[in-house]
Structure 1
Amino acid sequence: MAKDMTAEIDRNVVDPSLREWILPNFTTTTDNDTIVCSIVMMATMKKYNKYLFTTECGLPRITIEGEKRDWENILGRLEKLKQYGLETIAWYHLLVPVISHFVKSFDDPHGSENLEFWSKVCDENGFGSGHDYLAGWLTAFCAFDEEGKWIGHPLTDEGSSLSDMATLSAAEFFSKHADVTQRSAGESRSFDTKTRVGLVLGGASYHRIHSGSIPHGYAEVNVVINDNGTLIPSMMIAGHVGAQIHSSEDKELSSTGERDTVQPASGWWIFTTLPEEKTREVRKKWWFE
């Protein structure tokens, strides 16, 4: 950012050689040296300039791991969701367009339809950012909260049987069984639903969800470990717990090719838990200290 800004300064000063004269260009010069001097140059000229940086969003590159047949396998498994009720049928319709596009990405990765799809991960308009909510197809993976409660569009069975609902197309299902004009359980009350035009993909209507209501990507379960007769209350946690940072080593992707790739990280833990009275004692201590 600083180096780009000094280039802008260079275009707006009387002496166009000023930047080249100020910035270091020696055999020992590192990228850090150039950044330091660029910021100092900006500070020196701040009396005459105002500096504004505008952020942009977007994904320069996507890597879908596995083979096409793996994602076709996942797509086929989604059918079973239709057996479990109204909410899982709705979830089925949200997931199918997304996974279908994953499959298509293998055939035409640079096609306009594929690029349009990946531009709407978080926002229905594409290339949007800065909101405190998700409104793209990513909300297909935020359909239930940690307690298993549905947080998508409000649903009603309208007296239809499970078998009848399972035969509907996505467009028919959401038209008959979902109220897309009403606020979802995970949506902020401050948002005006009357002016909303939500994302529709493959006939499915995707809900908005406030960033504070995004469900955890991991699950936890209490277990008891029997250590030679000693019972130890414990807990197991597993799921998507963070992100891994990798280096693509591709300088076309980033200036250095280092630490420029983000990948979801899965993990698990098992640990002993404190008795309830001890837990309250520790929480009380943290609260007051």
Structure 2
Amino acid sequence: MPAVIKPQPSKVGRNQDPAVRSPKELLANVSHHYSNLPVLHSSFADLESADASPDVVPYENGFVYTVLRAFQQDMHLELRPDDVWIAILSQLSFFVNSHSEELRDVDINMFIERLVNLVQAKLSNPAVADWMLPRFSTTTQTDATVAAMVFLGSLKQYFNYEMRIGCGFPSVTLLGTRDDWELLRQCISHLTDLGDFQELRDWAAYLDCVLMYMIAGFDYPDAQEVKDFWMRAAHSAGQRASGGLISLSGWLTAFCLWQADGTLTRVYSDEELKQHLSTDNIGEWARLELSGVSFPVIGRFSIPAAIVNFPVIVLDGFSEEKTVVVAGLVGMEVGGTELSTAKPRPGWWLLHEKS
């Protein structure tokens, strides 16, 4: 049964961000580098449907920006464990590709096998788990495909394949079961199996803390501490932060550690934060601490993408076609009769790479 938390139920807003109407238009907004390539296939058939298609607002990080913009516009937020896991996989992809040489001695197959076994233990049919396809009770075929593609993007160094702040959330709905979210938390505990990296240990600690509070929503949805957690997604001060987004100091920074090129996102030092705290709005610059875990503070323009890409050679009879896969969390899907509900939108494209 889903969990529903109501951090700020007194006000309900609606989406004001422009939506796109076609897979090509969505691609042009989230991955401009590949926007001129012909689309061979994609997961966005519903955007081309003659029936009422969903409103999808393009963002390069469909998880972080969906949570952030839902908060800023006082919208209902819906999240699935799949959304969180794909966001984690995209960050893992950036980390792995930036440490390709250091990780060449790591038994990648053993790392994969451990995660597969963890998922298989939760499934009635273990054969459906092919590495970390996120088979939660909410998982769709698109989710499984996107997760697999994002994972493949993390291994491209090893193999060749053929803002304005509003009040908060009227409600947050965590779809799926409590067991789904517990499984997600267990998967996080295996991230450090990749090697002895302090940045990995820090990341796992951030994510574990976030998941602990999310799971608490199933047990104590009306607890003030749980409501406060959601109000502090963007800023440590919650709704007391100022009207302009200058920094990101809430727990969303746990999903922003690496940029797409694998470099660590620049974070503000304690000394820099002290300087800002003496002159600026404290809500923008105070470091968030939850259950003994201190989260990083980053600049407003440092939110990384949640999209990966990698080349694939498609064999068609006697010919070979060079293609590119682009996949990840590509935007915010808006729903509800008043356009007041937001959720991350996963998806993928297979593009024909011109000779």
TM-score using structure 2 length? 0.47
Q: Is the 8 Å Cα contact of residues 314 and 323 (structure 2) preserved in structure 1?
A: yes
Q: Distance in 1 between matches of 2:321 and 2:176?
A: 40
Find out whether 1:260 has 2:340 as its counterpart: yes
User: Do residues 123 (structure 1) and 212 (structure 2) align?
Assistant: no
Inter-partner Cα distance in structure 2 for 1:82 and 1:116: 29
Q: For residue 82 of structure 1, what is the amino acid of its counterpart?
A: T
Residue 246 of structure 2 is matched in structure 1 by 132
- Which residue of structure 2 lines up, in the alignment, with residue 61 of structure 1? 171
SS at 1:212 equivalent: coil
Give the Å deviation of 1:194.
Answer: 6.8
Mapped contact 1:198–1:205 kept (Cα < 8 A)? yes
Matched position secondary structure for 2:343: strand
Q: 1:17 corresponds to which residue?
A: none
Say how many residue pairs are matched. Answer: 182
In 2, the alpha carbon distance for the partners of 1:94 and 1:80 equals: 14
The residue aligned with 1:162 is none
Distance 2:323 2:313 in 1: 6
- How many Å separate the matches in 2 of 1:122 and 1:55? 9
CA distance in 2, matches of 1:99, 1:113: 14
Identity rate of aligned residues, in percent? Answer: 27
Out of 212, 215, 221, the position equivalent to 2:310 is 221
Equivalent residue runs for 1:1-289 within 5 Å: 56-83=166-193, 84=195, 85-127=197-239, 128=241, 129-151=243-265, 153=267, 180-181=269-270, 192=275, 195=278, 196-247=285-336, 257-275=337-355
AA of the residue aligned to 2:301: G
In structure 2, C-alpha distance between the alignment counterparts of 1:107 and 1:81, rounded to whole Å: 26
Q: Distance in 1 between matches of 2:257 and 2:298?
A: 9
Alpha-carbon distance between aligned partners in 1 of 2:352 and 2:272, rounded to the nearest angstrom: 40
Q: Distance in 2 between matches of 1:246 and 1:209?
A: 30
Gaps of 5+ in 1: 1-53, 155-179, 185-190, 248-256, 276-289
- 1:55 Cα offset (Å): 7.6
Structure of higher RCO (CA pairs closer than 8 Å, 6+ residues apart): 2
Say which SS state the counterpart of residue 286 (structure 2) adopts: coil
1:146-186 deviations in whole A, cap 9, x for unaligned? 122222659xxxxxxxxxxxxxxxxxxxxxxxxx42669xx
Give the aligned residue type for 1:137: W
Determine the C-alpha separation between the residues in 2 that align with 1:236 and 1:136.
32
Larger Rg: 1
- Equivalent AA in structure 1 for residue 341 of structure 2: T
User: Is contact 1:152-1:207 (8 Å) kept?
Assistant: no
Structure 1 132/77 Cα, relative in aligned 2: closer, same or farther at 3 Å?
A: same
User: Is residue 91–residue 140 contact of structure 1 (8 Å, CA) maintained in 2?
Assistant: yes
Q: Check 1:270–1:55 CA distance in 2 against 1; reply closer, same or farther (3 A cut).
A: closer
1:183/1:272 CA distance change after superposition, 3 Å: farther
Instruction: Name the CA shift for 1:214/1:55 in 2 (closer, same or farther; >3 Å).
Output: closer
* Residue type at the aligned position of 1:117: F
Contact 1:181–1:194, Cα closer than 8 Å, also in 2: no
Contact 2:267–2:299 (CA<8 Å) still a contact in 1? no
**C-alpha separation between the residues in 2 aligned to 1:140 and 1:193?**
22
Q: Is the 8 A contact 1:198 1:207 kept in 2?
A: yes
Determine the C-alpha separation between the residues in 2 that align with 1:58 and 1:152: 26
